[in-house]
Amino acid sequence: MKEYPSKYRVPDHRYDRSNRQFEHPQYISHDRQNPNQRKKFTNRRNDPAELLNELFKKTGPELKSRLGEISASQKRLADAEERKAAALEKIAAYFQGAAPADPPGAEPDSEPETAPVPELESGPEQKNGNLSGEQSSAPVQNIEKTVPAPDSTPDSRTINKATDAQRAMALKIIKKMHKENATYNQIALRLEKENLPTFSGRGRWHAQTIHRLLKK
């Protein structure tokens, strides 16, 4: 290289930085305060909020329909529970002898009318027979008077509707125990211990009845 003339040699500009920052883009400094000159991160992950919004937009209608189906099924279940509770109350009232009484227009069953028997003159034997028949029929009539009618006792026992004070007390106990996270069966047992009659005056307290009252 020594015999090569220096005038033909290319000057070494590796360390010459006089005008390179204005000529070559490699040496152009970026203003980080300017948003247009900031570096763009194309591989940056999206914001979680944006991802959630996109997910809700895609699955929103389907979720809405599913929730509607769930609410409708819950409503049907509640109606079925109410019907079941009403049926159980009727069955319990029937077995406890609390069947509804006869309508007021209906007449009670009476003994069949018998035609009057004309009195006939008879001898002493026939008179003795009549006396024995009267003596035998007398205790039967007394027994019929002493034995109460079967329809009288259940009505007096079952048509025992709750008064306003008893209603208020029952509702107070139900709401208080419900706030304490007590079950419907526990509430029903508590009302039975307090000897509080049901609002209809028939049957006993059941879990379904408590559920229906709380729903109202």
Predicted confidence (pLDDT) per residue in 72-82, tens digit: 999 999 999 99
The answer to whether residue 28 sits within a structural domain is no
Q: How many domains does the chain have?
A: 1
The answer, as to whether pTM is greater than 0.75, is no
The answer to whether residue 64 sits within a structural domain is yes
Asked whether residue 157 carries a pLDDT value surpassing 70, the answer given is no
What is the pLDDT of the chain when averaged over all its residues?
A: 69
The answer to whether residue 135 sits within a structural domain is no
The answer to whether residue 118 sits within a structural domain is no
* φ, ψ at 206 (rounded to 5°): -130, 165
The answer to whether residue 174 sits within a structural domain is yes
The answer to whether residue 20 sits within a structural domain is no
The answer to whether residue 4 sits within a structural domain is no
More confident residue, 196 or 71: 71
Q: Using N-to-C axis directions, what is the helix angle for 207-215 and 48-95, rounded to 10°? A: 130
The answer to whether residue 208 sits within a structural domain is yes
The helix/strand/coil state of 26 is: helix
Q: Which residue segment(s) compose the domain that 189 sits in?
A: 55-98+158-215
- Rounded Cα distance between 40 and 43, Å, is 9
CA trace torsion 99, 199, 182, 192 (10° rounding): -60
Alpha helix ranges (H) inside the chain: 20-23, 48-95, 124-146, 152-158, 164-179, 184-193, 207-215
Asked whether residue 100 carries a pLDDT value surpassing 60, the answer given is no
The helix/strand/coil state of 183 is: coil
